[in-house]
Amino acid sequence: MSEAVVAGGTERMTWDQICETYAGEWVLMVDVDWVNDTDLDLRSAVVVAHGEHRQWKRARELVPDKTEITHLFIFKPEDEL
């Protein structure tokens, strides 16, 4: 199993940009701007790491303690139901 790619992210990306860039991968995000408190819809976030598997060992070390993190799988458009 391969280690996640550490993006070292500081650049905020929109949800559409995240979906286009990381389709078919897991993404680890911080500083998430949620649309509301009840759904999993988000406007933008900073991607810290991404990969085919959720292997966050190295990536998690880059995130300060007590920082809220979110990880989601980004489906490829043809995979969506």
CB 10 within 8 A of CB 66: no
Contact 7, 38 (CB under 8 A): no
pLDDT (tens digit, 9 = 90+) per residue, 35-74? 998 888 899 999 988 888 776 666 667 777 777 888 889 9
Q: Which residue has the tokens 């940009």?
A: 17
- Nearest CA-CA partner of 27 in 44, 1, 42, 5: 5
> How much is the pTM?
0.77
- Are the C-beta atoms of 75 and 24 separated by less than 8 Å? yes
